[in-house]
Structure 1
Amino acid sequence: MSTDVHALFVTHTAESAPADARPAIEGVKRKFGHVPTAVGRMATSPQLLRGFLAASAAFEQTTLDPVGREIVVMTVATRNGCHVCVAMHTATLVGLEAPPEVVEALRAGRPLPDARAEALRSFTLAVMDHRGAVGDEETRAFLNAGHSARNALEVVLGVGAYTISTFANRLIDAPLDPPFRAFAWDGDDE
């Protein structure tokens, strides 16, 4: 008899979660008004949930502007094939009133129309592709587009935070919650 290993990842509530995860779940619920299924499943490991939330909160405090942060997140999410993150962060970009052509390009993994934004997307890919050992030419292109050395390290933080999220969401087979279904992504948004 075969067991669905993804069924091991229970969708916890504040009441059912391990005690160490309850404050994090309650914080998410206060911030968003509900507990996304992915968060409920991540709560199986309180350390993973707290680690992701702390890294994500730190990333939100970087000097990258909100759309810039979303460029990093969407680049990681599409590269790592996380349908939950792509949908959630598409909703965020729409809320930020990002131009539709930017949202569409990010979802499709295509170059962005704005040179500075494209430099950020390309640098994020380079960080991922080279596991941080980005070459001089790629780093110079990023800096010449108006980004800073601080921004380069902030990209690394974003890649780290959202690698945790995308990998965890895929492992736990996180479903797309109803508020994000309008932004569903199957990886073929071309």
Structure 2
Amino acid sequence: MSRLPLVSTETADAEQTDLLTEVQRQLGRVPNLYAAMANSPATLRGYLNMRDALTRGKLSARVREQLALLVASENGCDYCVAAHSMRAGRMGFTEEAIAATRAAHAEDPHADAVLQIAREVLRSHGRIDDRVVDSARERGVSDAELSEVVGHIALNTLSNYFNHVAQPELDFPPAAPTKGSTMTAKWRRASKVALVDGYALLDRNGQSVHAVDDVEVSIEGGFLHIKVSDTAEVQVVSAPGVALVTYRPEV
């Protein structure tokens, strides 16, 4: 049951009705997220206005959907992961492409560069270094697109965090959960993991680096999963992004 009440056409006041009508116009339906957000017309109006503005930006609809899916996955929002997985599927993304997006990778080089810097911004809380920005620019990401990446992170983080608080009932087909680890593959100790140019990891101090030492790794579905410490989140890199893995001898 939703923690916050879902505003319906029967319970809405005039302002709420106008906003829910706008949601219906933009999305073709009123998902539970928006019905819960309508408890505060100011919050819902701000969200819709920002969403509408960003649809007029430089990033394509496909990349915007990939960003929404990546941000939801990074923020652990199962509701939004389900919603954007469904929408991505309707846009022609395969299950493999959806899984790759959640790991910040895409076949299209430009989309891949956008997702990579978006994940860097998310995990560093915006404190990225010049090398990350330079790498994105070298891969064709414009300054306008860099700005929009931050905008989309803010927009989708708002919906993710709102879902954490409101806990609306899921009204989309469920996707693979974001909470916890569902991996069954064997973890192995690696003395070194190095990535190719354009890819990065967070080390034990939260710094963006190209290589890490003495970590645990596991390979699943064409992705290398990396744990730099027992308390750190698992980081995922697609196989083309990995330059070197040196395993420690098993005893």
- Please classify the TM superposition score into its range, dividing by the shorter chain length: 0.7 to 0.9
Structure 1 position 169 matched with structure 2 position 160: no
Paired residues in the alignment total 181
1:185 is the counterpart of 2:176: yes
Q: Does structure 1 retain, via aligned residues, the 8 Å contact 2:104–2:112?
A: no
C-alpha deviation, 1:43, in angstroms: 0.7
Look up the equivalent residue of 2:121 and give its one-letter code.
V
Q: Higher relative contact order at CA 8 Å, sep ≥6: structure 1 or structure 2?
A: 1
Question: Which residue, 33, 39, 42 being the options, matches 2:37?
Answer: 42
Letter in 1 for 2:128: V
Question: Equivalents in 1 of 2:45, 2:76: separation in Å?
Answer: 23
Deviation at 1:110?
5.4
Change (3 A) 1:75 1:14: same
- Provide the aligned C-alpha RMSD in A: 2.1
Structure 2: where are the runs of 5+ without partners?
A: 184-251
The corresponding residue for 1:59 is: 54
Please point out which of 70, 75, 84 is paired with 1:80.
75
Q: 127-136 or 144-153, which moves further after superposition?
A: 127-136
Instruction: Show CA shifts across 1:109-167 (max 9, x none).
Output: 25334433221111101222233232111111111111100000000110111111110
Contact 2:104/2:119 (CA < 8 Å) preserved in 1?
A: no
How many Å separate the matches in 2 of 1:30 and 1:171? 26
- CA offsets per residue over residues 63-120 of structure 1, 9 Å max, x none? 111121112111110011111111111122112112432212224x253344332211
The CA deviation at 1:20 is 2.9
Q: TM-score, normalised by structure 1?
A: 0.85
AA partner of residue 35 (structure 1):
V
1:154 pairs with one of 148, 151, 162: 148
Normalised to the residue count of structure 2, the TM-score between the two structures is 0.66
Residue type of the partner of 1:37?
Answer: N
Match of 2:28 in 1: 33
Which sections of structure 1, spanning at least 5 residues, go unmatched? none
Moved more, 136-145 or 92-101: 92-101
Contact 2:20 2:38 in 1 (8 A): yes
Within the candidate set 98, 111, 115, 1:117 is matched to 111
Question: How far apart are the structure 2 equivalents of 1:144 and 1:98?
Answer: 26
Question: 1:67·1:98 contact (CA, 8 Å) conserved in 2?
Answer: no
Structure 1 residue ranges (4+ consecutive) displaced by more than 4 angstroms after TM superposition: none
Give the drift of 1:184: 2.5
Question: What is the aligned-residue identity percentage?
Answer: 28
Q: Relative to total residues, which structure has the larger strand share, 1 or 2?
A: 2
Residue in 2 that maps onto 1:92: 87
Contact 1:56 1:162 in 2 (8 A): no
